[in-house]
Structures are given as C-alpha cells and as structure tokens.
Chains A and B, each alone.
Chain A
Amino acid sequence: MFKELLVIFFGAAVVNNFVLYRFLGICPFMGVSRKTRSAVGMGLAVTFVMVIAGAITWAIYHFILEKFGLYYLQYVAFILVIASLVQFIELYMRKNVEDLYKAFGIYLPLITTNCAILGLALLNILKGYSFVQSLVFSIGAGAGFTLALVIMSGIRERLELAEIPEPLKGVPIALIIAGLLALAFGAFTGMLK
C-alpha cells in the first residue's frame, strides 16, 4: 500500500515529470522562471490549487457525473470547477490570510488556464485512481512542477550573463534548455519497475 503510493508520488514528480515529460504547464514554466523567488511562489501556488482541484474534481466525477451517466459533461464541469475554485481561493486568501496572498496571490489568476491543473484532474480519472491515490498523485505532480520551475529559474538567472546568439534570445534558448533538462530527467525512466 505504502510502496504503491510512493511509486505514484515519484512517478508524478520525477519519472513522468509534468513539465518535462507530459508538457503540462509550459506557459508558466516559460513565463515565471526568470527569478528563483517567483518560481518558488508559482510552484507552491500551483501545488496548492492542484491538491484542492484534484480532490474536488475527483469527487464530482465519481459522485455526480458517474452516478448519472453524464460523462460528456466532464470537460465543461471540470474547467468550471477549476475556474471558480481559483477565484474562490483568491478571495478567501485576500480576506483571511493576507501574508500568504502577498506571497503568491498574484500567481493565482494565471492558474485558471494552466493546463497542468486540468491535465491533473483528467489524469486522475483516466488512471482510475482511488481518492487517496489521486491525492498523492496531485502532491507529486505539484512537487515535480515546482522542482522543474526552480531548476529552470536557477539556470536562467545565470543565463542573463551568458552570450547567446541574437535569434535564440528569450524563448528559443529557454526551450533548448528545457530540452536538455528533459534529457536529464529521461535518466529516471525505468527507475520504477
């Protein structure tokens, strides 16, 4: 039981890393990875929303959609839940936990259209996870996302000082670095067998 959960966690965090293997959440990966500080903030915000959104969409799918055979409403329901959830968390944080809001509140609106969240919700269902398994999967996915973002930001901070060919400046060089990172993460393949 415990071993199985551990496999799910490391599978989501490093082996099939959300950013570098599944290509989910590329927009914030490119956009918010210039400074390590903001990368950590974004990573934590995404992890937080992932865990809550994963749990709620799991419950909605299994208790409402599946029960009434409304499978075709899955995408509409999930995206609406995620969008309103993000709004709700933002409002709640602004009112009650102001410190936290100041730390990563500005990243919240960006998360609605972050495909990593919807991707996670869909993968939970596709893989047929139980509730506990899906929770572990969400935390692992968030940890993997944060890890990739922080590594990337560390490299990009150094890159500011490097000489890069003019046409490759900005996004292209970031993509090439992401490719090299993906290659490095590829070494984890086969770890969980």
Chain B
Amino acid sequence: MSQQLFKDFVKGLWKHNPVFRLILGMCPTLAVTNVAINGLAMGLATSFVLIFSGIVISLIKDFIPSKVRIPCYIVVIASFVTIADLFMAAYYPPIHAVLSIYVPLIVVNCIILGRMEAFAGKVPLKRAFADAFGMSLGFTWALILLASVREFLGFGTVFGATILGAWYPQVLMMKLPAGAFITLGLLIGLMNIVSRKKHV
C-alpha cells in the first residue's frame, strides 16, 4: 500500500510531469514566468487548489452522479480558486496585482480538472492526496525552473538576487512573451533528450 502511495506521489515529479511530459497547463506556465518569484507564487496557488480539490472530490465522489460530475468538480475547484485569490489579494497584494487574471484562470487549468477526472474521482483519499501532492510539486518545480532561466537571461538575477552585475546586457526578448514560448520549447526538448538517455 505504502509503495503504491509512493508511486502515485513520485510520478508527478518526472515521469508524468505536468509541464514537461504531459504538456498541460500551458497558459499559466507561459504567462507568469518572467521572474522566479512569480513562478513560485503561481506554483503554490495552483498546488493549494489542486491538493484541496483533490481531497474534497475524493471524499464526495460517491455522492456525485457520474453524469454531472464535471460541473460538480468545476464548482469545487472554483471555490478553492476564490479562496486562494482572496487570500493573495489580502496578504500579498503586489504579487496578486502582477498575476491578475491568471489566478482566477487556475479554474480552467487542465492539470487540475485532468487529475480530478483521472484520479481523485476514482481512488481513496490517501492515493488522491499523494497524486495531487506529487503533481503540485512537479508543476511548481517546472515553473520555478522556467522562470529562473528567463529571469537569469532577462535581468541577470534569480529570485531578485543579482548574479550578473550591471555590465550584463539584459536580453529583452526573455522579458517578452516570445521568451516564454522559446524557453519552454527548448526546455521540453532538453527534457526529451534527458529522458531518452535514461531509458537506453
């Protein structure tokens, strides 16, 4: 049993990493990753929604008629997104202002509905939690990596700490939307090379 739980947890980190392997949740991944701190904030907000919706849906799955399960899932998810949104607006207004509409858009993040449909709606609480926790960590580290690369190349800093001094000619493209697309494309390509080597 505990081995099963570990398996559920660990697959989100690499083998089924939502960003690099499943290619899900592209909108927030691309939109908020210009600096590392935004990536971290978005990762944490999504994790909160994913884990708590997973727990609640796993608990109430026996009461939901299967025909209306998707609308039910969406209501649960939207409620937790509202909580996350209000919490951020109250305690971290600057970050909330930067993320703006991408916080409410967690509602339609395909990772969350995908995990609910594929996992939380079918398995007992413990496994749903392990899965949601693993997926959250996988999503968050992917976002932090992408955002750190962009921040490093774009501003010469990581998490606001200066690494390259004032002499560094900041790469404007990395701060623009184009930088998000190209960096993510190259990172997924890199992950493909790494995972292919691992299989051989």
Contact call A175/B192, Cβ cutoff below 8 A: no
Q: Is A172 an interface residue (CB 8 A)?
A: yes
Binds A, one of B55-63, B125-133, B161-169, B170-178: B170-178
Contact call A72/B189, Cβ cutoff below 8 A: no
Q: Is A118 an interface residue (CB 8 A)?
A: yes
| Inter-chain contacts of B71 with A (CB < 8 A) | 80, 83-84
Contact call B23/A168, Cβ cutoff below 8 A: no
Q: Is B182 an interface residue (CB 8 A)?
A: yes
Interface range on chain A: under 10, 10 to 19, 20 to 34, or 35 or more? 35 or more
Measured CA separation A26–B181 after assembly (Å): 11
Interface residues of B in 131-158 (CB under 8 A from A): none
Contact call A173/B107, Cβ cutoff below 8 A: no
Measured CA separation A113–B106 after assembly (Å): 11
Measured CA separation A86–B153 after assembly (Å): 42
How many residues in B have their beta carbons less than 8 Å from beta carbons of A? 42
Q: How many residue pairs bridge A and B at CB < 8 Å?
A: 118
* Contact residue among A72, A79, A113, A179 (Cβ-Cβ distance under 8 Å from B180): A179
Measured CA separation A182–B173 after assembly (Å): 10
Q: Taking chain B's interface residues, is the majority helix, strand, or loop, or is none over half, making it mixed?
A: helix
Measured CA separation A122–B81 after assembly (Å): 14
Q: Is B108 an interface residue (CB 8 A)?
A: yes
Contact call B185/A172, Cβ cutoff below 8 A: yes
| Minimum C-beta distance from B187 to chain A (A) | 8
* Contact residue among A122, A175, A179 (Cβ-Cβ distance under 8 Å from B104): A122
Q: Given known contacts A30-B26, A183-B176, is B181 in contact with A76 (CB within 8 Å)?
A: no
Q: Which residues of B contact A (CB under 8 A)?
A: 23, 26-28, 30-31, 70-71, 74-75, 78-79, 81-82, 85-86, 100-101, 104-105, 107-110, 113, 173, 176-182, 184-186, 188-190, 192-193, 196
Q: Which residues of A contact B (CB under 8 A)?
A: 20-27, 30, 72-76, 79-80, 83-84, 113-115, 118-119, 122-123, 126, 165-168, 171-176, 178-180, 182-183, 186
